Amino acid sequence: MKKITLTRAVNEALREEMQRDPNVYIQGIGLRAVAPNSLTGGLHDEFGSQRVRTAPMDEPLIAGSCVGAALAGMRPVAELHLADFAFCALDEIISKAGKWRYMHGANNGMMLPIVFMQTIGGYVGGAAEHSQSPVGFYMHAPGLKIVVPTTPYDAKGLMKSAIRDDNPVLFFTHKLLGGTEGEVPEDDYLVPFGKAEVRRAGNDVTVVATSYMVSLALNAAQSLAEEDVSVEVIDPRTLEPLDLDTIVQSVRRTGRLVVVDEDTMRCGVGAEIGFQVMERCFSDMKSPVLRVGNPDLPVPYSPVLEKAVLPSSSKIQAAILRTLNPS
């Protein structure tokens, strides 16, 4: 095992998959001049401009050409940078990549292997158009797999699984997780889709959290442990496919659920997971499901207002305590 950052883990996954399969290539804006410690740093120098393709500042072009290449047998990775900018390419992502296997013959061997890399998250004063976490938005789009890694181990293993998958995959990394360190095996490995990870075991309340929210949830759980509150923290790792079984088993034992996601709450990840749990665990619930997330507002530029809008460990703690005292 070795200790590396999450950014380095993704970089290693890209490099190793490009070495393993000549059909893998990367395309995005400014890839020739990216910083050495970035997600794609050093790859252009190693593989050249044919496999690390610098594109114009045109997200529809990047996404659309990668969709065409995937249909032709390549395995492209479309580096779209901030998730906010990927909205420009939604037709290619949702209506082309997401639907074409269904519409044009997946059963006849048609494949569409493509990874759309996007960076999400606030907490950096990026303002409303540079701070979004629109992961829940893509849960409305059938045909797309959704990956939200939290640790370097998961990021590397999930990226490898994403590149080898024959379906389009959205791979989201959070701005604040890039520098986090963790142990990663020296040998080749994969992390399977649809298998959640219990980050902390507990008996009183189940907390399901995504991406950077896992760190906040773990901090909240640690603080509440000093008050003899036992919190179980579950990291889904992928939202499509979603490992609902692990979540349901936990909630049936604890009888309480808090879902934490940085995206806006209306029609979001918390609403979807919470309602699916209620459908399956209503008779086991000791209190209503609670959500912690953005209260349906653009993310403010002001640090004070941004703090008021986005989730925090203290907000998660308050929600956990409310489930223990619902009256």
DSSP readout, 185-231?
A: -SS-----TT--EEEE--SSEEEEE-TTHHHHHHHHHHHHHTTT--E
Lowest mean pLDDT of 20-24, 38-42, 190-194, name the range.
38-42
| Pair (234, 114) in one structural domain | no
CA end-to-end span of the chain, whole Å? Answer: 48
| H or E stretch at 78 | strand 75-82
| Pair (16, 158) in one structural domain | yes
Residue 253 corresponds to which tokens in the numbers above? 């034992």
Q: Which domain holds residue 151?
A: 2-184
> Is pLDDT of 107 > 70?
no
Give domain status of residue 220, yes or no: yes
Per-position b or e across 39-51, b if 16+ CB within 10 A of its CB: bbbbbbeebeeeb
Residue 199 near residue 225 (C-beta atoms within 8 A): no
State mean pLDDT over 281-289.
96
Instruction: Encode pLDDT of 65-84 as tens digits.
Output: 999 999 999 999 999 999 99
| Pair (172, 41) in one structural domain | yes
The CATH number of the domain where 18 resides is what? 3.40.50.970
| 3-state DSSP assignment of residue 35 | coil
The CATH number of the domain where 214 resides is what? 3.40.50.920
Predicted confidence band of residue 215 (pLDDT cuts 50, 70, 90): very high
In 3D space, the residue among 72, 67, 33, 35 whose CA is nearest the CA of residue 52 turns out to be 33
**Reduced DSSP (H G I as helix, E B as strand, rest coil) percent helix, strand, coil of the chain, to 5:** 40, 25, 35
Nearest-Å Rg of the Cα atoms of the chain is: 20
What's the rounded Cα separation, in Å, for the pair 22 and 42? 17
Q: Which residue has the tokens 């059963």?
A: 107
| Pair (59, 207) in one structural domain | no
- Angle separating helix axes 6-20 and 152-164, nearest 10 degrees: 30
At 281, which amino acid appears? C
Catalytic residues: 130
Mean pLDDT of the chain: 96
What's the rounded Cα separation, in Å, for the pair 115 and 277? 29
Give domain status of residue 190, yes or no: no
Q: Which of 133, 149, 184 represents a domain boundary (last residue)?
A: 184
| Pair (215, 137) in one structural domain | no
Predicted confidence band of residue 104 (pLDDT cuts 50, 70, 90): confident
| Pair (161, 221) in one structural domain | no
> Looking at residue 88, what is its pLDDT?
96
Q: Which of 151, 184, 217 represents a domain boundary (last residue)?
A: 184
Q: Which of 154, 184, 214 represents a domain boundary (last residue)?
A: 184
> Is pLDDT of 274 > 80?
yes
State mean pLDDT over 255-272.
96
Lowest mean pLDDT of 29-33, 35-39, 107-111, 219-223, name the range.
107-111
Other C-beta atoms within 10 Å of 74: how many?
A: 16
> Looking at residue 217, what is its pLDDT?
98
> Looking at residue 222, what is its pLDDT?
98
pTM score: 0.96
| Pair (118, 67) in one structural domain | yes
State mean pLDDT over 269-288.
96
Give domain status of residue 318, yes or no: yes
Give domain status of residue 259, yes or no: yes
| Pair (6, 147) in one structural domain | yes
Give domain status of residue 72, yes or no: yes
Give domain status of residue 254, yes or no: yes
| Pair (78, 168) in one structural domain | yes
What's the rounded Cα separation, in Å, for the pair 242 and 231? 21
Give domain status of residue 67, yes or no: yes
> Looking at residue 327, what is its pLDDT?
72
Residue 288 near residue 282 (C-beta atoms within 8 A): no
Domain count, the chain: 2
